[in-house]
């Protein structure tokens, strides 16, 4: 019964769960959610233990890097024009001029050289513990979007004084120069960003105890796959030590 109150445990306990969830998401995506030409890998950043991002690659070995265009190899993807993502809020940037002014960023790609098309980021306490980490996370997401990489951001943690309206608001203010105010009582956020000319955001506000919906993960500008968040979350939860489950679930029994 997602989603739990992760503020009740240390950052290390959440980090362990985060790694497990990334692994379960990878398994689900590679186990049939993704079309044949795509694959997902848990990625690491230098100096950190364990994966903190799930990167989706496309096998360009036969087409020299040409963008996927919804061919027969891409069966299983959903066309936005035919079936819009089933989320509570859809947003579109009204001005993409920020692209021209943003400094260039380096996107680290897997050693195989296969092109990264999308990423899934799970926000951690470390991303929120200061103004600089919040800004660094926002830069990471916006740089990916600028490079044409679609991004899903899972923010299971309440806002802090460094991201007073949540991480999506911090990202959206940079991407679109627009405000976002989470609905009352829904401080946590699932957001999927489509890196088209006018950035699109598909947002699902949630709270502790919310059931996690399948979120759209864009593989092209016009196509996405539905990502099973609840099933993968619960699979990762099964590995949380009972000592910490008791702490996390104490609020429900109180």
The DSSP secondary structure of 229-240, one letter per residue, reads HHHHHHHHHTTS
Encoding tokens for residue 148?
Answer: 């044409």
- Within 10 A of 233 (CB to CB), how many other CB atoms are there? 22
How many helices (DSSP H) and strands (DSSP E) are in the chain? 7, 10
The SS3 call for residue 160 is: coil
Are 171 and 153 a contacting pair, CB within 8 Å?
A: yes
Encoding tokens for residue 3?
Answer: 């989603």
pTM of this structure: 0.86
Return the closest-CA partner of residue 196 out of 143, 152, 154, 149. 149
| pLDDT, mean of residues 86-91 | 92
Region class of 178: left (phi > 0), else alpha (psi between -120 and 50), else beta: beta
Are 58 and 115 a contacting pair, CB within 8 Å?
A: yes
**pLDDT tens-digit profile of 91-148?**
988 654 444 334 333 333 334 457 899 999 999 999 999 999 999 999 999 999 999 9
Q: Which residues pair with 150 in a beta bridge?
A: 118
Residues contacting 46, CB < 8 A, separation 6+ = none
The SS3 call for residue 9 is: coil
Percent of the chain with pLDDT over 90: 68
The DSSP secondary structure of 73-138, one letter per residue, reads GGTT-EETTTS----SEEEE-S--THHHHSPP------TT-PEEEEEEEE--HHHHSSHHHHHHHH
State the average pLDDT for the chain.
84
Lowest mean pLDDT among 82-91, 94-103, 171-180, 192-201: 94-103
Percent of the chain with pLDDT over 70: 81
**pLDDT tens-digit profile of 9-61?**
999 999 999 999 999 999 999 999 999 889 999 886 544 434 567 889 998 76
| pLDDT, mean of residues 147-167 | 95
């Amino acid at each position: 019964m997602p989603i739990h109150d992760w503020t009740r445990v240390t950052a290390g306990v959440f980090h362990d769960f985060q790694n497990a969830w990334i692994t379960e998401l990878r398994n689900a995506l590679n186990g049939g959610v993704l079309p044949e030409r795509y694959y997902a890998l848990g990625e690491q950043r230098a100096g950190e233990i364990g994966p903190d991002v799930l990167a989706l690659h496309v096998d360009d070995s036969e087409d020299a890097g040409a963008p996927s265009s919804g061919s027969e190899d891409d069966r299983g993807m959903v066309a936005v024009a035919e079936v819009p993502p089933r989320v509570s809020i859809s947003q579109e940037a009204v001005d993409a001029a920020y692209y021209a002014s943003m400094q260039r960023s380096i996107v680290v790609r897997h050693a195989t050289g296969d092109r990264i098309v999308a990423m899934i980021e799970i926000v951690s306490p470390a991303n929120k513990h200061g103004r600089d980490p919040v800004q660094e996370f926002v830069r990471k997401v916006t740089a990916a979007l600028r490079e044409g990489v679609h991004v899903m951001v899972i923010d299971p943690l309440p806002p802090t004084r460094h991201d007073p309206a949540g991480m999506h608001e911090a990202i959206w203010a940079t991407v679109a120069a627009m405000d976002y105010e989470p609905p009352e009582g829904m401080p946590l956020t699932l957001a999927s960003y489509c890196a088209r000319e006018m950035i699109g955001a598909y947002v699902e506000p949630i709270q502790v105890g919310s059931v996690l919906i399948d979120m759209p993960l864009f593989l092209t500008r016009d196509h996405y796959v539905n990502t099973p968040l609840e099933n993968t979350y619960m699979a990762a939860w099964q590995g949380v030590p009972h000592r910490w489950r008791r702490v996390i679930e104490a609020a429900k029994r109180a």
